[in-house]
Structure 1
Amino acid sequence: MQFRNTHATALGDPKVPPSRRVYFAIYFPVDCDVRPLHMYFSKSNEGTKVLQDACKAGGLQMDRGRIVGSPERINLFTIEGDILRVDLDLEAHLGSTLQPSSVLIVERGNRVADYRLDEIRAAASKADESSCAVM
């Protein structure tokens, strides 16, 4: 799983002050054939915005919480496989649900398959690409 960009070239809103940015490695559903990428968001962004922006950056079209053509809702997950509450802003998750060296996983349904979590953990560990940085 090679990234499309580097942490230094992370995608995000340039209007977000560096002191308010949170950086993530974003992984997409395996069947979408989208390479992972690095992104940053404002600490005050709600999870919904993170999900929408990640899907847009990955070239995935969303329609009412689903990837176009899929019957299942799309969710954000942590590397532990926990669903990230999208009704809360990122700051509410920092230090609890999201830890340094976290990644975010965009996936359909209510869980990420164990084999997929293992793949992502191995790739993140090997390449040291997993990153949640507050600058």
Structure 2
Amino acid sequence: RLRTHFNLDPTVMRAHLPSLLLQPLIENAIKYAVTPQEEGADISIELRRNADRVLITVSDTGPGADSQYQVRAMQSTGVGLANIRDRLAQAYGDNHRFETQSEITGGFRVFIEIPYQIEAEEPK
């Protein structure tokens, strides 16, 4: 039921990412996209580099922003996305971007943009 797709730019394989950045995004995708649909869903993870930035996209083919999804999302604790937002702000200040997008026709996407730093460097 879970179908995964990875598009990983080799130039970002050594990039420093805050710990546990992707895990809650994938857990949310499984909980809200795969679990409620009998046919399951696709989850895609894309990491690429654009000059001195790392662009991260996690998307799914779940129910999107229909009313049932919105009710479930409102009933959840909502700490996963909020924690990611807070951790990115602590690590990068204003030097990052975090966006979510949901379509009525289905699907949910999280987009993160952070500075490209190799593993040995500390976040600035």
Q: Report if TM-score (shorter chain) is over 0.5.
A: no
TM-score (norm 1): 0.29
Q: Indicate the structure (1 or 2) with the bigger Cα radius of gyration.
A: 2
